[in-house]
Amino acid sequence: EQDLEYVNGKKFQLSELTGTIIFVEEQCMTCQMLVKDIDASGRKDENMVTILVGEKEHAINFIQKYPSWNKIAFWKNEELQKKLNISAFPFYMTLNKGVVKEKGFASVKKILKD
């Protein structure tokens, strides 16, 4: 049970989610390429949640770059490593009502499955 917060202030828990979650770092070049490719594809899923690793200002910067992405949250790196043991980015998880169905290093192919 992990309480998270979208940039707009709405709280949520991972255990409530169904869909894809992408964890990205603002300064990670591979993360930036992934986000740009997903954005350019025009196939971004509306249920996709993007979690910026770090403080709220990282998530705000992301929204300024990618205004069409609407489910943006943030999570401090230390907490993310401690709670989910994620330390390499970009990372993704596919959840069904909070249950992990798939996870690993994120790629456009994995995120935008047909």
Phi/psi of residue 16, nearest 5 degrees: -95, -15
**What local confidence, expressed as pLDDT, does residue 112 receive?**
86
Residue 111, φ and ψ in degrees, nearest 5: -75, -40
Query: Residue 67, preceding bond cis, omega within 30 degrees?
Result: no
- Per-run averaged pLDDT (10 residues), the chain, 114 residues: 87 91 94 93 86 93 91 93 92 93 93 77
Distant-in-sequence, close-in-space partners of 79: CB < 8 Å, separation ≥ 6: none
Report the run of H or E that residue 57 belongs to, with start and end: helix 56-65
